[in-house]
Structure 1
Amino acid sequence: MYKNNLPQAIPDPIETVMAFILKEARKVFAIWVLVGIKGLKLYATMELFRTNSACDTALPFEEDQISSFTISKEYSEIVFLIAGKEPFCDEDHIYDFCQKQWEFCAPVFDCKKDNHDLNESAILPFTEKHLTTANEGAFGQVLKYTIHNRHINTTGLMPHPQYVAVKKIKLETQNDPKINIAGWEKEVRALWKMRELRQKHIVKFITAFRRGMDEHYLIMEWADGGNLRNLWENFRQPLTANLVKDAFKQLLGLSEALDQVHNPRAQSANGHFRHGDLKPENILWFKDPTDKRKIGILKIGDWGLAKQHQDFTQIRTKQTTTGFGTRRYEPPEEETIKDNNLVVPDAQTVLGRIVRKRSRLYDVWAMGCIWLEFLIWLMYGHDGLTRFNRSFKNGRSDVVCFYEIDDKDVARVHRVAKQWMDHMAQDPVCEVGKTALGNLLELVRSRLLVVKLPDGFGTIINLPSQPGTNIDISTTPEHIIDLPPSGSASSSIIVPQINVVEAGPVDEVLPATLESFVPKPPLSTGGRRARSDDLFK
């Protein structure tokens, strides 16, 4: 009916405008309808946008941008010919358009783009925010969201996800928000590099986005099980051959992931990374949807402290600036290396901690701590792991590490950890050289939880010359350390049937029975801590 009211000076214009709306400007048309423009003024407005090539792909618009249309020659002609010589696109209408346009501009997050810069008014395409919180670290909190299926593209990366993990970077941690913005940009770069490795046991990074100047987010795959700590608490299964095989597959996968991060094989790799904050909370648990008796997949996440180095020395003369970490799983050199160039001369304290260097061996020690806890959980369950951690505390309120420093500044493996490992070695299911659990324990004792560093790394203050020397625990009452009863591992494994065989290739499929899956004891490293690639020799 509007066509009959149009001035005859414009030859059949409505078909042209309708074609523009249907092919190029459906959103623009809907926004003006929402603003309340109708009749000939709606037609005139769409004609104005058409003549200025202002279509859906140009959204969002700035107010000044639309205002510039109204001072054009085209606007004057349209006002004269169509709108009854009355302005039809005033300041109030333009303001309303710019406010309501965000309801039509929800972004599509594409995994092929590492970052999306959004306007502070942008409406995010999340349809539900779940109460579940995955983790909260020094730099941000991770939440579970349902995302609209047409607003995420993960082609070539992973199946289309229903849920995603969204990490909002906290800016209130530091007085200078630039520190946190730099941390966000660093994590984006690290996550992008980690994704290029295509490693099964590294959490998949989807993309990142920034909304305005103050909100910074990361989007990753959602771990439905939580983290490794949650697995230890909630996955209650007796110690069977199948559970041991399942656990070893995951430990092997985590080791391969760490080795690939430390020592990238790709020719395009221009440096190597280390994680810097390995702990059970940063190893995420993806449940097996087909079999509740299986662990599922464990993946290393939270690369907020990851640091890339362009050379492959074990420690560098140039100071690094990683400022956060978890006391419980940090190695003894965090405390003992003080008298050489490893402390930043003019270092600032971050959250009360002095900024220090971290090498790849930092990750190796942390992995040793995690593996020991994993082994205790396998043998004695969550209750046994709770006893182990309680033995460390012994009434103390502060965080206790897996090492201790005596009054002579000598670092050694903590007496509680040592006595537990000695006790476990006496258990029939953990016999070194005859069982997989025993050889895993020996790997932890002789190559991971080792204070002495590899040659060329540095000097530990007053390190005893004999590796393996430990603090005398003869004066430590056994009831304080709270060891489990001898032979108390909850096992259905028939120990005498387990035979020692040579280990197969790293990528070998695990056999169906535990009897044929007993890797050989680890090779000696001369009493020094192993590197990640040493674990496969």
Structure 2
Amino acid sequence: MARDIDLRDKISCIEESLSFVPHDMLKSLITQENVEEVLKNTNPKAHELDTWSAAYRGKLASFVIKDANAIFAILLMMKRPRRIEEFFENRLKNEILPISVIGKERPPKVQSRNMHMTMAEDRLRNTFLSSVWEPSDIREFIIKQWIFLSPVLKQSEFEFEFKFDFEMTLPWTPCYSPVEPIRGVYAQVEKRAVPISHFNLTWGQHLIAVKKLTGGRQEKNAKKEADALKLLRTIQSEHVIKGIIYFKKQTMKDSSQTFWHLEFKGEKPELGKDFLVWAVGQLFGLMDAIRMMHDLGLRHGDLKPENILCFPDSSQPGAIPVRLVITDVGLSKAHEKSTSERKEQLREATTTTVSTTRYQPPELKMQRTEDHVLPRCFDVWSAGCIFMEFLVWMLYGKKELLTFTRKTESVEYWEKDDKCFKVRKVVCEQLHAMTQDENCTNDPALVGLADLIKNNFLIIDVWSLVHGRDKNIVSRVSLTRNKSSASTKLMKTSKKLTKRIARVLTNKQRNCSDTLQERYRDTSEQATENIRKIKTEILSRTNGVD
């Protein structure tokens, strides 16, 4: 009797405290021994004693354990465990769930909402039309069923526009280590945990990021981001976010994940070999993930610390069991987009908050009003800004990072005077200070990383700027083509005109440089290879294998 009461109490507590019951929890509660004990204490009537034998109760318990543990748990919540006998006799299993009532007939007409259970409709109706089922009992069963019907997230396919009932609870809960939500102009991202029994994936772990779209254009932005997430699933990199499910719901109690910039604003790290193996390995992984995106024709276009999540992962080499993952691909740009779509995307990318434009390169300023596909080096500049802040934290810790970010928090990493674009003075000063720092100069890997940021990432790409200005001039000349006969002659000279202006602009840019040599920002392929060399050098010192 004590076991029976204990199980009933646990089921009651679950109903009061949880929005859904994980599958593994249900299995641990509804055991053969527990079920038999509950059935034994259901006090059968005198004329039922012959049929209500231990052997029969054992059969019922076996049926429950194998096929109907959710149904039995619902009946326990209703304090009607004996009614499992009707489901057993009519061969009705968990797969009939969820059920619903059709119309307003009396007695209620019950059907399964599982499209594969049409063959069981007669048996289902016979069960619920029996004399022991009052309409109020049926309503209670329908309400209580949802706590056991949270879905399993699958790897086999991206649940694109996942359809589910309004009453269904998706299988995540608040994290044991809560993190403040990340709030942007168009979305909010929070951290959530998924029970292992609801996370049928070979990659990832039980922590996920749940993103809720806010503001205007939710329908359009949701579809755009879902398309990009679906494409990103083809990238074989653990440093790119993997889409699991895309859904629409009138009200969502969602959320998930923390980004590295906040996560790592902690004490100054010990710059030992294990830490460097981890740090450079993560930067390499992020850069390689960007390269893979570029190979698919995608440009992220909004890389910033808030869009790099921090996933616990004990398999990562080095000192910290954390993996950095790129997310928020909602504004990713693809070459295959139509002209109108590219213009709209560019407008969205250039009218977001300062926190977004802070990490964007100067060519965005030149291409602000133009039909221009973002070049690959756009994301490389953004990565350089992020990697620089990462290096500041590595060398100096939280205090210096906060000081540096406050100096640049309302501005981009570049500035423009009357003559040209250039890397902002405070950024140059910080880079110079790091290259002279004893902790940096004593380690070839840190020197290499600082040099990469300075000489390969944060480069004012002259030809990206020239091409934007050049194209704008051609567009203005083209507008006059049909207005007069003189326009034809003007068009013939337009190429000479734009070449001349390009030379002038290039010369101005050169005058701002330390050298007269043209400088180009790394492509993502070059950047990945350069970081790989640093990673290899560190591993060779630690007797690791690349």
| TM-score above 0.5, yes or no | yes
Pairing 1:121-520 to 2, within 5 Å after superposition: 121-126=167-172, 128-130=174-176, 132-133=178-179, 135-138=181-184, 139-154=186-201, 156-158=202-204, 161=205, 163-171=206-214, 173-174=215-216, 179-203=217-241, 205=242, 207-208=244-245, 210=247, 212-215=249-252, 226-231=259-264, 233-239=265-271, 243-244=275-276, 246-263=278-295, 271-286=296-311, 294-307=319-332, 309=334, 318-321=342-345, 323-324=348-349, 326-338=356-368, 340-342=370-372, 358-392=374-408, 399-406=410-417, 410-426=420-436, 435-454=444-463, 458-460=467-469, 463-467=505-509, 469-470=511-512
Q: Which amino acid aligns with 2:319?
A: K
| Cα offset, 1:329, TM superposition | 0.6
Provide the rounded CA distance (Å) in 1 between the counterparts of 2:124 and 2:154. Answer: 38
Task: Indicate conservation of the 8 Å contact 2:193/2:208, yes or no.
Answer: no
1:105 aligns with 2:149: yes
Give the gaps of 5 or more residues in structure 2: 1-43, 50-55, 112-120, 471-503, 531-546
Provide the rounded CA distance (Å) in 2 between the counterparts of 1:375 and 1:108. Answer: 40
Provide the rounded CA distance (Å) in 2 between the counterparts of 1:195 and 1:387. Answer: 38
| Cα offset, 1:439, TM superposition | 3.9
The change in CA–CA distance for 1:370 and 1:59 in structure 2 (over 3 A counts) is same
Partner-residue secondary structure (3-state), 2:179: strand
Provide the rounded CA distance (Å) in 2 between the counterparts of 1:418 and 1:373. Answer: 13
Q: Which amino acid aligns with 1:68?
A: K
Which of 92, 97, 101 is equivalent to 1:63?
Answer: 101
Identify the residue that residue 27 of structure 1 maps to in structure 2: 70
Partner-residue secondary structure (3-state), 2:210: strand
Q: Which amino acid aligns with 2:382?
A: A
Provide the rounded CA distance (Å) in 2 between the counterparts of 1:298 and 1:24. Answer: 39
Task: Indicate conservation of the 8 Å contact 1:454/1:529, yes or no.
Answer: no
Moved more, 453-462 or 415-424: 453-462
| Cα offset, 1:211, TM superposition | 6.5
Provide the rounded CA distance (Å) in 2 between the counterparts of 1:15 and 1:243. Answer: 58
Partner-residue secondary structure (3-state), 2:285: helix
Deviations 1:366-411 (Å, cap 9, x if unpaired)? 0111222233334444433334334446xxxxx1110123357x43
Aligned residues: 426
Partner-residue secondary structure (3-state), 2:142: helix
| Cα offset, 1:29, TM superposition | 4.8
Deviations 1:281-329 (Å, cap 9, x if unpaired)? 333345675999824554233224352525599x999435262551211
- TM-score where L is the length of structure 2: 0.63
> Alignment identity in percent?
23
Moved more, 190-199 or 362-371: 190-199
Deviations 1:115-147 (Å, cap 9, x if unpaired)? 243322123444654461264132443434343
Task: Indicate conservation of the 8 Å contact 1:452/1:467, yes or no.
Answer: no
Provide the rounded CA distance (Å) in 1 between the counterparts of 2:428 and 2:95. Answer: 65
Task: Indicate conservation of the 8 Å contact 1:288/1:294, yes or no.
Answer: no
Task: Indicate conservation of the 8 Å contact 1:365/1:449, yes or no.
Answer: yes
Task: Indicate conservation of the 8 Å contact 2:311/2:325, yes or no.
Answer: no
Provide the rounded CA distance (Å) in 2 between the counterparts of 1:275 and 1:189. Answer: 13
Structure having the larger proportion of residues in helix: 2
Provide the rounded CA distance (Å) in 1 between the counterparts of 2:437 and 2:177. Answer: 43
Identify the residue that residue 529 of structure 1 maps to in structure 2: 521
Deviations 1:328-350 (Å, cap 9, x if unpaired)? 111112223246434xxxxxxxx
The change in CA–CA distance for 1:337 and 1:216 in structure 2 (over 3 A counts) is farther
Partner-residue secondary structure (3-state), 1:169: strand
| Cα offset, 1:170, TM superposition | 3.4
1:93 aligns with 2:134: no
| Cα offset, 1:436, TM superposition | 4.1
The change in CA–CA distance for 1:58 and 1:183 in structure 2 (over 3 A counts) is farther
The change in CA–CA distance for 1:21 and 1:129 in structure 2 (over 3 A counts) is same
Coordinate RMSD, CA, aligned: 4.7
Give the gaps of 5 or more residues in structure 1: 7-12, 264-270, 343-356, 394-398, 473-523
- TM-score where L is the length of structure 1: 0.64
Provide the rounded CA distance (Å) in 1 between the counterparts of 2:438 and 2:293. Answer: 36
The change in CA–CA distance for 1:450 and 1:129 in structure 2 (over 3 A counts) is closer
Provide the rounded CA distance (Å) in 2 between the counterparts of 1:373 and 1:34. Answer: 54
Provide the rounded CA distance (Å) in 2 between the counterparts of 1:227 and 1:321. Answer: 26
